[in-house]
Each structure stands twice: as structure tokens, then as C-alpha cells.
A and B are shown apart, each in its own frame.
Chain A
Amino acid sequence: MLQNSGLDIKKSSRHEVKEIEVSDEYSNLVNLASKKDLEIIFSQVGIGITVQKPNGELMFANDIGAKMIGFKSPGELINIPVKKIMEKFEVFGEDGGSIPIEAFPGRRALMGESPKEMVLKFKIKDSKVERWASVKATPVFDKDGRVIFAINTFNDVTEKKRVEIELRNSEARLKFLTKASRVLASSLDYKKTLKSVARLAVPHIADWYAIDMLNNKEVELLVVAHVDPKKVAWAKELRKIDPVDLDAPNGIANVFRSGKSEIYPLVTEELIKASSVSKKEIEVIKKLGLISVMLVPIKIRGRVVGVITFVSAESKREFNKSDLELAEQLAGRAALAIENASLYKKVEEEKKRLSNVVANVPGVVWEAYGEPGSQEQRMAYVSEYIIRLLGYSVKDWTSRPNFWLSIVHPDDVEETLKRTKENFRRGSGGVVQFRWVAKDKRVVWVEAQTAVIKNSEGKSVGMRGVTVDITSSKEAELNNHRLAAIVESSDDAIIGQDLKMRITNWNLGAEKLYGYSADEMAGKSILIIVPRDKKEEMREIMEVIRLGEGVDHLETTRITKNGRMIDVSLTISPLKDTSGKVIGASGIGRDISSSKELERRKDAFIGMASHELKTPITSIKAYIQVLQSKYRQSRDEVALKYLDKTNDQLNNLTELVNDLLDLSKIQTGRLELEKQQFNLGDLVRDTVETMQGLTQRHKIYLEGNENVDIVGDKNRIGQVLINLINNAIKYSPEAEKIILNVFRKGNKVTFTVKDFGIGISRTHQKRIFDRFYRAAGKSEKTFPGLGIGLYISSEIVRRHGGNIWVESVKRRGSTFFVSLPLR
């Protein structure tokens, strides 16, 4: 505007002196325009212009310029003393600090400087008006370099500044909120984080920051912050002395009650007076230097749990709507942080509780996702019991797909996977039994009870369940199977019955032997297969069983389904329950009919054979004896000697054959006794005489005799005597005497045969009367004989109703006793 004027105002450095050349144009202008016109022009200009005299007084100002510094019109400004002007306003810099006169651009220009443009805030005293202007000042020199005046221009940038400030505030708020959010989210210890936020809020957002929390109807001060720690201590103390009264009509109490924020952008004297605060409170407000207050509630699901207080004091900041929004946002985040913490705590407690419950389940509680066996399978959860059970860590289980399958026993893998997959695809749970191999190679039987997890569309996505250790019961089960199989596959008849003789078990062997099926016999009495004459025997056996004893290899008879009588050998034992009480009996029976039959045939054969043997023996004996007679006549001593020996051997042979024949008779029950009355004494005498003739070495003494008559088979009794005397001779080869005695006592007569031979040991004494038993020891030579002599003798004595026994001392000798009844 002034570009084409005559006035050339050139920018110059301090040291350059400018000539003012008043151009023709200016002159023209001066001539053209009147002062009034100039005034009009300047008043239309959009910037404030003032022209200062070197003494600071203004010689010109336009409207805007005047208003800028608080004057209504330029007229008021012109030529009044500087001091008066300065009273009108205060000047602040961008940083908020006041600017001294010397620093004013105008002043500096008057000094001849060319100051930089400054953005200044003009605060008009006595009013709230503040305006920001970009101030430029330029000195005008005369031809001598003296400043004749300074030109100030004021460019109103109030709006711009406001926007700038607002933007900065917004940025600060956002930064604060972001930081605060991060802090609040950083930890579940909301008490700690809310305290940390104080450091961000103070002094950037407010001068004071405090949080009160509602704890069981009591208000607790959580945190109070201020840059001055002394003031913080004072505030804490104050709160202690004067805690928040929830019934109070306003303030924090009101916020707790209403749940609504409160903002007092500017607390003035009037406001205080108008409010119903107490004197004490007024004091506090004054002491705080409280200018502006914001109270925002922390709400969790509609319930107010705390109140955040922001106070502006020293900074003189006046909280506005945006500040309140910020505070509310913070409160919102705080609420979230508190809620998160409490939820988290609840979850942790639940988890712990659940974990405790799970830990006590005697099984593995697990949850897995993905199809079993596929690469997508993963174990989401497995309880710690797994460590106890198998020795693998939880990490092992969750580290790779299908770990659970990799430790299934190789024999069970295929079946287990198949069944598990089936359950999964079908979408229904199930029970699967299989073996796992523990880390220490132990085999563990388990039973998995599973359920399928489905998504909202009903598709199977995983499985969960409990897998329990069933090793002991499984082993018991397998053992039972094994035992049952053994029983079933046995050829022998295995029968179980209770104490009332009702059949509880009947194996295949029993079916085969007796002809009845297990179904037919279940619950029926065992007496069905017992012949009439053996029923009493069966009852006696049960008596023995009740006492906890059994019978071993009892030979008896039974009847089959088709009425056939069979010979069986039974071993019956008592069945006891776990407490030891007898609850039944179990018997193993074997068909011995064939073996019995065989024995019968054998015995019959022996009988027949020995009978047959007698024939050639008779012949031989006859010839021997004829020869003996012949040689006696011819007195051939040598021939006679040999023939005697031959005859002796023949007699031995005869004796053996006779014994066999007797044995066979006893076995087949055909030993017939021809009972007659005879004199025992005579028999004994005759026998002793005969026997003495057979031995040179021994002398047989008859120390006592009884001339009693007894009834019996004379031959057989004689046979017994001969057997005993023979044995005495045989078994005392070193001795020289054998003593016989016969005596009567009561209604019995007893004869004894005593030798002084090798004797019989205790253990053998019990067995010498057994069939086929022969005395023989490692060091002793075996004695000739079949070992049936005493057996036959004992049979004969028994058949006579008598008794036979022995008293003996090893290496001293033996005494055999036979007692027979008289009459």
C-alpha cells in the first residue's frame, strides 16, 4: 500500500543511516490527501498501526492499534504519557511469561534496532480480554541517523493462536491419555498404575490430582499428587483429619451419589459465597489457590467405585469441556483397569479352585483340539496328575501333536486310535481302555472316559475327558480271565459249589465227564451225580470243608447223566472269601475208571501169571528133589550141595510167586480166609521148628507161649509168622538170635518177633506196611524181596480184626507185634 508512495522506507541494519527522501509522490500525496483522508485509509487497514515518538508517546494510532492495547479509540492514545498507556495492559510472551518494556519491539526500534517479529499476548487489565498479535517495529531515521519515530504494526493472530493452543492442548491431552492408558494396561495392580498416572497428569493436565475409592461404604484416598511434596503431605493430613462425608450435598460425595461428572471451570469468590461449602472448606480452597476443579466418577457397570479430582491452582488454567472429556476418558480407562484386575483375580481364584479340584481327581483331566491322530491335534490342557502317573512333564504332553498316542503300548495303538477317531467323527464320547508306557517303561492300564467338543455348527473340534489308572483292577481282570481259561481248558472236571452243595461252577471237563451241561447243573445240588451209597461220604466231606480242610485224591464213584457208574479220584478244597471265611468248595475230579480198570486187569494178570508160574516151578522142584534123593543114595556130596542150593533158590522163587499171588488177591478182593479154630501155641511151635531148620546162623528162642485157641485162617496166620521171622533173619545178618514171645492180655493175644538187626528209622516205621515199600538206605545194601511181605501180613492181620505194628531203634533191632482178638 505504501509501496508506490513517495516515502521509501528501506530496511536497514542498525548502523546504516538512511536518508529519508521525500519523494515527489509523497509530496503529491501530502498535497492530495488530507490528514483526514490518511486517517480513513489507515483505519481501513487490517492491521494495527502505531507510531511512537522517541519518548514512547504515540503520535499516531489506528483503531485496531488502539483497541489492541486496550483503548477504545486512537484519540485516547495520542500524546498521553507512556506510563498511562502501560497501565492499561499487560504483555506476555508465547511461553506465558510477562515481557518487560525494554523488550517490546517498539522500544527496541526506538533504540535503533530492527527487532524480530514477536508474537505477544496483550491482556487488558480490568477486563478478561486477551488478544494475541504478531508485532513488528521498524525505526525511521533522519538524515543524521537519529531515530525520529518507530512504526509498530500489530497483526491480530488471536484466533490463530487460540487454535494453536487448542491443538497443542489436544495433543497434550491425547499424549497424556495414550500414556495413561498404557500405564493402566501395563499391570493388573491398578492401585499402582493409578498412582503412576498421577505423574503424567501433574503438572501437565492439572496442578492437583487425587483419586478416592469407595471401599465398603468408606471413602479411601488412593492417591494425591502435586509437584510440591509438602503440599501432598498437607493434603493427606487434611484428608485424615477431615474425611469425605458421603452424605455431604456436593463435592466428591455428590459425584459418588449421582455418578455424574462435575466441572467448575472458574472458582470465583462469588461462586464460593453462593455455594454451600463450609468455612473450613472455604479455607482449604483459598489455601489451595483453587482456580478450576473437575470431578469425574470411575464407574464399573453403573456403580461408582471411585472419583478422580483434577484441580488447577498455580497454573491458573481454566478447565474447559475438552479437559472434562479427557478426565472422563481417563476415568473410563481407570474403571476398565480396575474391572480387569478384579475379573482377573476372580479368574485366577476360579482357576486355582478348579486346579485344586482337578489335582485331587485320581486321573488325568485333559482337553485336546483337532482330530485325533492328525497333525492339527494339540493338547490344550492336561492336569498335573500326568506327571505322577507317567513321569512325563506337562510340556511333553503339549509340545507336539499326538504325544498321548506316541506313548500308547504298541499292541494297543491301532485299536485305540481307531476307536478314538470313531468317537470324534461320530461326535459322541466313549470309553476306551488301553495301555500307556510310562517314562520308566512301566506299563499302565488306563480307561479314558471322553466327550466330544463341538463348535456352534455342531462340528467336532476336540475332545475332553478323564483318563483313570485301572492297572490293578485290569491286572486282576486279566488274571481272572487267565484262571478261568485254565479252568475251562482243563480236561479234569472242575466243580465249584456253595456250602449247601449247590453248584456254582461247572467247567467243560465236568460236562465231558458227567454228561450234564453247565446250564443244566447251575444252582442244582451236587448230589445229582453222587451214587446213593456215597451220599453220606459226600456229607462227611462237606463237614471237613466247613472246618477249612480238604480231601486229597479220594477214590470214589460217581454217576453220569446216562446212569453209568464211574470211578473218580477227587481232590476237594475249601473256598474262602477275602476275610478267610469258608464260602464253598471247589473240587477237581479225574476219571480213573480206565486206570482202575487197568489196575484190575493188572492185578488179575498178576494173579494169573503167578498162578501160571507155579507150574514150571513145580516141575523144576520135583526134578531137583528126585535128583537129591538119587545123589543121597550115591553119596555124591558135591552134587547134593549144589542141589540143596538150587532147592533153596527155588523155595525163594516160590515164596515170591506166592506173595505176588496174595497181593493180587488182596487187590482184587479175592483174598479168602478159611477160618477155623486152631491152637495158636501149636502153630507157633511148629513154625519156629520149621524156620529154625532154615537158618544156621540165628538161634530162634521161644520165650513165652500161650496155648490158646483162636479162630482164623491157620495157614495165613502161619504165613504172617513166617514172614516176620524171615524178615528178622534177613535184616539181622550180623546177629545170632531171634526171640519170639506170645502173651495174652484181656481179650487179645499178642505175639512178638524180636531181632537185633539194622533196625528201622522213625520215618520208615510209618511206611513199612505200605505196598511195595522196601527198607533201603544210601549206605545200606538193598535187601532182596518185593517189599510186599509186610503189606500182605498187615492185610491178613487186619482181616482177622487184629493189629500189627513195630517198635524199633536204628542199628539196635526191631520188635514186630501182632495182636489178635480172642473170640
Chain B
Amino acid sequence: MSKILVIDDDSGIQDALAAILEFDGHEVQLEVSDERVLTMEDRELPDLIILDLLLSGKDGKTIAKGFKNNDRLKHIPIIMLSAHPSAQQSALESGADDFLAKPFDMDVLLKKVRSNLKDDR
């Protein structure tokens, strides 16, 4: 039973992701920014982060970079989410482990989630 953190400022996306992930049996935490993560206790840390490239106020890539430079968080796999498929390259360069274009197929999402979780373990 893994814990997945979704950082997306759109409630629609948040709920949709939650629906899929919970259906697949994961625990989902929804955030709009990286604030909470940075102040989380170790035991609260998620097993996977799904991060939107475009957040109001902050750039997803910067956040990803931040996470990877953080000793406590760098081990967590990040799947970057974006409306632009062409953003894949730069997303991966900023530290994301995987990339998913919106709108995505449920199967594709779940496959990526499973594979990234497995790698982590």
C-alpha cells in the first residue's frame, strides 16, 4: 500500500488522479504546493510524487530540482505531469524520473506509477 503525493493546483486534476489511484488501491495525499512536503516528518513522506509542470506561482521544474537536491526527499520518484508533450525532455532534465502528458490514459498512468514504485523499492 503506497502513499502517493499529488502536487497540482487544479482541483479537477487532483480529484481525477485521486479517483484513479485510489481505485488502484493507493493512498493519495493532495497538495497545491511543495510546502507541506518540505515540512513533513520522515514517516509521513510519500512513496511517489506526481508533480504538475505548471503550478500557479511556482515552476514545477524548480520544485523537482529542489526535491532532488534535498537529502531527505531525493529518494522519492517524481512523475512530472504536463499538457505539453514536448516538455518531456526538459522535465526529465530537471530531475523528474518520468513524464506524463495530459490528458493521459488511466492505464498509462497506472503503469508508470507501478513501475516507478517498483524501481524505488
Tell me the A residues contacting B by CB distance below 8 Å.
Answer: 611, 614-623, 625-626, 628-630, 650, 654, 661, 672, 674, 713, 715
Contacts and interface: CB of A to CB of B under 8 A. Distances in A.
A623 B13 contact: no
B104 A619 contact: no
Contact of A615 (B10, B20, B23, B88): B10
Nearest to B16: A622
Contact of A715 (B83, B85, B104): B85
Contacts of A654: 103
Given A614-B83, A672-B86, A674-B89, A629 B13 contact: no
Contacts of B120: none
Given A618-B102, A625-B105, A674 B12 contact: no
A626 B23 CA distance: 7
A515 to B, nearest CB: 42
Nearest 4 pairs of A and B residues by beta carbon: A622-B16, A625-B106, A619-B12, A618-B103
Given A611-B83, A614-B103, A619 B15 contact: yes
Given A614-B102, A630-B23, A622 B88 contact: no
A622 B20 contact: yes
Interface in B69-121: 83-86, 88-89, 102-107
Which of the listed residues B13, B19, B102, B103 has the most CB atoms from chain A within 10 Å of its own CB?
B103
Given A622-B16, A626-B20, A674 B86 contact: yes
Given A618-B12, A619-B16, A650-B103, 7 more contacts: A615-B10, A621-B105, A622-B17, A622-B19, A625-B20, A626-B19, A630-B23
B103 A617 contact: yes
Contacts of A611: 83-84
B12 A615 contact: yes
8 contacts: A615-B12, A615-B13, A621-B16, A622-B19, A626-B23, A661-B83, A674-B89, A713-B86
Contact of B23 (A616, A629, A674): A629
A426 to B, nearest CB: 87
* Chain A, interface SS category: helix
Nearest to A628: B106
A674 B88 contact: yes
Contacts of B20: 622, 625-626
B29 to A, nearest CB: 17
A713 to B, nearest CB: 8
Contacts of B84: 611
Nearest to A674: B89
A615 B86 contact: no
Interface of B: 10, 12-13, 15-17, 19-20, 23, 83-86, 88-89, 102-107
A629 B23 CA distance: 9
Contact of A622 (B83, B89, B106): B106
A623 B16 CA distance: 6
Nearest to A658: B85
A619 B23 contact: no
A630 B106 CA distance: 12
Which of the listed residues B12, B83, B89 has the most CB atoms from chain A within 10 Å of its own CB?
B83
Contacts of A621: 16, 103-106
B16 A715 contact: no
A621 B103 CA distance: 7
B104 A618 contact: yes
Contacts of A620: 16
A375 B106 CA distance: 108
A166 B53 CA distance: 155
B49 to A, nearest CB: 18
A616 B20 CA distance: 15
Contacts of A650: 103
A170 B16 CA distance: 154
A614 B107 CA distance: 18
A663 to B, nearest CB: 14
Nearest to A622: B16
Nearest to A647: B105
Contacts of B83: 611, 614-615, 661
B88 A619 contact: no
B91 to A, nearest CB: 11
A637 to B, nearest CB: 20
Contacts of B103: 614, 617-618, 621-622, 650, 654
Contacts of A616: 12
Contacts of B10: 615
A626 B106 contact: yes
Contacts of A626: 19-20, 23, 106
A650 B103 CA distance: 10
Nearest to B102: A618
A53 B58 CA distance: 190
A715 B12 contact: no
A462 to B, nearest CB: 95
Nearest to A613: B83
Nearest to B90: A674
B13 A618 contact: yes
Contacts of B85: 715
A68 to B, nearest CB: 170
B20 to A, nearest CB: 5
